[in-house]
Each structure stands twice: as C-alpha cells, then as structure tokens.
Structure 1
Amino acid sequence: MKVFVVSDGPFGERAYDTIKKEFECEYIILDIPKPESIDDFTEFPKEQVAKIKSADILITYILNPDITFDLVEQVYDNVGYIIVGAWKGKGLKNQLESFKNVICPDIMCELVENGNEIFDEFVSKFGKPKVEIKVENDIATEIKVIRGSPCGGTNFVAEDLLGKNISDIPTKAGLRIQHYPCRAGRIRLFSDEESGRYKAATFHHDAFEKALNKRVSK
C-alpha cells in the first residue's frame, strides 16, 4: 500500500507523520505555477504528476478548490482511491465524487469501509475511531487503537486516558480530542468549525463507550 499526502502548504504533515507508521507514505508539496488567468487549466510539474499517479491512496490537503479539481481530474484514472481532505461547497463535492474513486469526507475521522478493496485496506487502520480497552479495578490498564484518525488524535487520546478510571472515559475522550487540537471543520474551509469539532468529539466518545461495553459483555 503506497499512500501520498499532497498539500499546497498549510495542512497534511500531521497526517503524513501518522500514516507513515502503518503504510509506505510520502508527503508532497505541490509546485504550482501561477496561472496567467483564472480560467487557465493548472499544469503541474510532470515529475510530480507521474509520482502521484503511482499512489494506491491519494490524500489531498489543497486549499484552492480549482487546483484540487484539476489535480484529481488529471490523476484519478491511475490512482486506486482519492480522499479529498480539504474542500469547500457541495457543488465541488459533487463534481469530485462524480469520479467514482473519490470521497470528500466532512472530517477525516468519519471514514469507514465502502467495499473498495484498496480504500478498505487503508480504512482498516485510519478513519472512524475504534479502540479496545483492558480494565483492572476500574482502571484502563491498556488502550489499543484499532483504527484511528489520520491526524493522530485517537492515539493522543488513548495515551492521555491510559491509567484513568473508566467511569467517565467516554466523556473525557470526546473532550480530549478537541485539545489535540482537532482541526476538523477548519480544514473544510467553512466558518462553522464547531460542527466538525462536535463530530470528532462524538466519534471518539462513542468509540470509547463501545469499547467499554464490549468489555462488560464478556
């Protein structure tokens, strides 16, 4: 599995640092020439395009929507699956997802399997949080991250809650993910950053609650 994280600068490095622990991964800052007019089609360096086309999974953190679309349009036929981590507006989302191997998640920690073999292999490790918890005397003695957010937030929460009493661990998990700090919402380029943060908090709360319930049911 070869994963490329492609950015125009501000975002993506944290995802790269997390993903490279599980998969072969490369972080690419696009060398984007300034177009002569706003209607010009973006011409990316041939070397970068050729490299990107070899990806099994391409994750884009490009803030310019036109550049995002131009890149996806040029490489989607060669890449196994594309995850657009930064996008703005349902019109762009619909355009991008008209390519059948492209997904534009609201936040990166909502990704789940969709039946595509390549995508599902990636999502077996990164996406909607899934954890296992071992407990002794109401203390979390081991927290194993089965699937974590690409930003590394799930691992941060798991490490922070290790050794804590399990009584309020789900609530603490939802709160702690926001102290990572969680960029959910901000990277979507919307003013409503709080909705993304709330989703991330809910997913982590539910993951830890489910893990505790499984432990109790054994």
Structure 2
Amino acid sequence: MKILVISDGKYGDRAAKTIRKKFPRTQFIVIRERNPRMLIDEVSLSTELIEKIEWAELLIVYVRHPDVVMQICEFNKPSIIAVDFGKGYLRQVKSINPNIVMPKAMCNVHPDTGIPEVDTYFSEYGFPTYKIELENSQGDSPIIKSVELLVESPCGASEGALDNLIGKKLIPETITAYGVNIRHECREPISVMLTHDDIADSSASLHIINLLEAIEREIPEQFLSNTVLGEYAKKRRQEYKCLKQASDLFDNYL
C-alpha cells in the first residue's frame, strides 16, 4: 500500500520510519509549519505535496494547523488525522471526506473502521498486541524468552522498549519498567483535549494491560486472585480508567 505521511516538522518522522518496515512504499514529506492559533484565509499547498497526495492510497496527517488539514482532506483520500482536533472538527471534515478517522491516540485503534485502507494500516500499527514465549513457566518467576509484536505503535515505542522485557524475570517491576520506557518514548501528537503527559501515561498503561493479557494467556494460573501478577494486573486495569492514577504510577518509578 502506498502511504504518505505528512508532517509540519514536529511529529511523524519516527512514524514514517517505523511504518516502512511493513509498508515499504511509505513516503514522508515535511510542509511549512503554521501557527495553529492563526487563521489562514487561503491555504496554498505546494505542487510537490499535491503530487504526492495524488500518488498515495492512504494519508497519515501529522499537521497541527486545522485549516491546512482541512485542505488536505478535500482530496478525498482515505486519511488518518493523527492530531485530535475534537469531535466538532471531525464531523466537519467527514462531511467533506467520509473516509477519514481521527483517533485520540494512534496506538489505541482497532482495524474496524470500515475503510479498507485505514483498516489495513491499523492491522499492523495501532492497538498493541503481543505474542509471548516464556521459559520455566512452571516456576515462581518465569523468564520472558521472546516477545513478538503482532501490532505495534507507529512511533516505534512498543518495539524500542522490548529490551526491558526479553531475558528478564516475569515480575511486576519488569512490566512497569517496560511501561516507563514507553512513557518516555511516546511521540503521540499533543491533543487539543489532553496534555502530553496524559497521552503518554495512557499509552504506557495500554501497553502494560495488553502485555499482561498476552502473558495471562500463557500462564493463567499465575493471574488468579491473591497472586502477585493477578493483583498487579488488577491494579493496572483500574488505573487505566483514570489517567491521573496512571500518572501517579509512573511517577513512582521515575
């Protein structure tokens, strides 16, 4: 699939590199940065950008000015807007181009939008999904032998943090260390609704929960009530429901 990642220079560069692993025809272009707080009477897109948009089958837009994004959406290409401008804005752009999604976070989307190109992308990059192999799984503290990322975050944080897991003992501290690294490496664009810390905490917590679910499928007996991992997983799932509590969790390990 031909993917064009469009950036105004702040976000998207690392995503483009990550996406090329599974979609090698991905291209990346940086356009002029515009102050999001300033209205633009007439948006002018470069010839190079227009040609690349026409070439692409899917656009991923890491542009922070809503007027520029609106102009890009008018090309009626299947598009993922990687900056959350709010529900009202989404309704407006979808009235122009219905083949658009605007997730609150790029690593928390399932491939069920009904837009074929978008779903193909989110089947590889989006909601983090793991396959785990353990050693000595009958013991008190198994070793994490390998971790396969079936679906990963587009910014590369999922994969970049794997060194915190592979070869380590399966104990709560190992899982939390992975989440802390995700938090540090999170490159999610700042939403109009949330601060960067909110988004990073949410992303890290989501990775932890999905990782725990993959581990639980391998050794469900170690996730029963009153077990160390069972109680740890219960707390993490509760914290994910509240960003502030998740932030407190990671602050304790910084």
TM-score (norm 2): 0.75
Tell me, yes or no, if the aligned pair for 2:2 and 2:56 is still in contact at 8 Å. Answer: yes
Q: Which runs of 5+ in 1 are unaligned?
A: none
Q: Which runs of 5+ in 2 are unaligned?
A: 137-141, 222-254
Tell me, yes or no, if the aligned pair for 1:125 and 1:146 is still in contact at 8 Å. Answer: yes
- 1:42–1:152 distance in 2 versus 1, CA, 3 Å: same
Tell me, yes or no, if the aligned pair for 1:132 and 1:143 is still in contact at 8 Å. Answer: yes
1:203 aligns with 2:206: yes
| Cα deviation code 1:126-153 (max 9, x no counterpart) | 0010011101021111111110000001
Q: How many residues align?
A: 210
Q: CA–CA distance in 2 between the matches of 1:95 and 1:173?
A: 39
TM-score (norm 1): 0.86
Residue identity matched to 1:132 = K
Q: CA–CA distance in 1 between the matches of 2:81 and 2:177?
A: 29
Residue identity matched to 1:3 = I
3-state SS of 1:159 partner:
helix
Query: Which region of structure 1 is more displaced relative to structure 2, 83-92 or 18-27?
Result: 83-92
1:47 aligns with 2:52: no
- 1:59–1:96 distance in 2 versus 1, CA, 3 Å: same
RMSD: 2.4
Tell me, yes or no, if the aligned pair for 2:11 and 2:187 is still in contact at 8 Å. Answer: no
Matches within 5 A, 1:129-144: 129-137=128-136, 138-144=142-148
Q: How much identity, in percent, do the aligned residues show?
A: 29
Among 107, 110, 113, which residue is 2:111 paired with?
A: 113
- 1:159–1:95 distance in 2 versus 1, CA, 3 Å: farther
Q: CA–CA distance in 1 between the matches of 2:53 and 2:14?
A: 19
Which structure is higher in strand share? 1
1:29 aligns with 2:30: yes
Q: CA–CA distance in 1 between the matches of 2:103 and 2:166?
A: 29
1:177 aligns with 2:156: no
